[in-house]
Amino acid sequence: MKQINDFLRKKVLVLGLAKSGVSAASLLHKLGAFVTVNDFKPFDENPEAQGLLEEGIKVVCGSHPIELLDDGFELVVKNPGIPYTNPMIQAALERNIPIITEVELAYKVSEAPFIGITGTNGKTTTTTLIYEMLKEGGKNPLIAGNIGTVASGVAQEATKDHVIVIELSSFQLMGIKEFRPHIAVFLNLYDAHLDYHGTKEEYGNAKARITANQTNEDYFIYNAGQGETTAAAKGTSAVSVPFSTDSIQRDGAYAENGYICFRGEQIMEMDKVVLPGRHNLENILSAVAAVKLYGVSNEAIEKVLTTFGGVKHRTQFVRELNGRRFYNDSKATNILAASAAISSFDGPLILLAGGLDRGNGFDELIPLLQNVKAMIVFGETADKLTETAKKAGIAIIKHVDNVGVAAREAYELSESGDTILLSPACASWDQYKTFEVRGDMFMDAVHKLK
């Protein structure tokens, strides 16, 4: 970790805890800042705040009092999930107090370079692929973000011999000032988080900040098939490296004649790749571009892509049993994500779907359900999904109590050669605490099948 004096004897407010806030507060304390933590959860129910108090850090819990800002803070480190419309943030802006997110702290203290990945969909899969390829290629990677240790924690352990691979949300990127990844990846942009950003344009601008501080010594990998990502490439100072599943990008990554290619070189045969689906091919191409720029061998790339079955709960291959292949896509908590998963399979499909009712219908799925021979539905949206299945002409529709029962019913209905896919198209909160709990229940039921 770099020993810096940027925060020495500065008054810093850490707003919101969770893992990133705890890590940020502890790091700032080590760097000599006068830290105050403010979290909405009451102190008696807040073990994180209690632990920070034991470290000697001032904590204010139970509310976000605006008058706290009268203490003369020189910096606010904001939890990424707190929107800029929050009254506390608005008051800080009115006082011209700089606001950053924890990833900016990580960059300031890290001795290692960063590979940053952002986009609406595919961030976790791509981040994991890049990490695994770098590891297989002997490049000493560390992984940070939502799928690993928070960035400021990883950065404290990193040396010049490491490279930090980090998944970055738009919320995090809005709070950077100097953060500069050596390689930035912008996967795609779809309508999402508009309740936070207001418009798709603002959402896209936040994502594009991943390249804001890059120079001509850095690389910006972007999706050449989307206008928003291509526009970001036109505005970057980094070397632009495109990827595409639809067109030949001779200066980037692409698919041609059954091969994954990079800058005119055939890397490996596409048929050997384990991950299914066009959306995963985009993730793979962007990952290949990143690691080839880092000097990883084709052999290391091929080894990962022929063994990597997917990130848990994201079109994750679970098991093959008597010719049936089971996939867990519990992370598909909306129609867009479920559409991507369903489109990944060409053969006969049994689809398991349902969950929290947010008021929307599911007729958008109908054009994608042509290969679905049976649908098993559950949760609050079971009746709506039943109607959608009927409109799509699906002959077999079953309503069950939960995903465990759904797994068993699907197996009973299936034949050799079928794919059984859990892709709920809904959040889990009507029956399960998280999508992970839902996916684990499904996988447990699948592994018990005989």
119 carries a ligand binding annotation: yes
d(Cα 41, Cα 43) in Å, to the nearest integer? Answer: 6
- Classify burial at 413, counting beta carbons within 10 Å of its beta carbon; exposed 0-12, middle 13-18, buried 19 or more: middle
213: annotated binding-site residue? no
From its phi and psi, is residue 356 left (phi > 0), alpha (psi between -120 and 50) or beta?
A: beta
What are the residues whose beta carbons fall under 8 Å from the beta carbon of 234, sequence distance 6 or more? none
Q: Which amino acid is at 372?
A: V
**Are 273 and 306 contacting, i.e. CB atoms less than 8 angstroms apart?**
yes
The verdict on whether residue 361 carries a ligand-binding annotation is no
Strand partners, 375: 351, 397
Which amino acid is present at 191?
Answer: D
The upper half-sphere exposure of residue 119, i.e. CA atoms within 13 Å in the direction of its Cβ, equals 24
Is 123 annotated to bind a ligand? Reply is yes
Single-letter code of the amino acid located at 124: T
Which residue's entry shows tokens 């679970």? 318
Residue 46 Cα distances to 16, 102, 425, angstroms? 11, 20, 33
The token pair that represents 116 in the structure block:
């940053």
The whole-angstrom separation of Cα 180 and Cα 107 is 8
280 is in an annotated binding site: no
Burial of 393 (0-12, 13-18, 19+ CB in 10 A): exposed
- C-alpha neighbours within 13 Å on the C-beta side of residue 68: 25
Strand order in the sheet with 372-378: 316-321, 324-328, 419-422, 349-354, 372-378, 396-399
Nearest CA-CA partner of 391 in 411, 412, 410, 368: 368
Token output for 113: 């370079």
d(CA 206, CA 203): 5
CA distance 337 to 341: 7
Known binding-site residue numbers = 119-125
Known binding-site residue numbers for ATP = 119-125
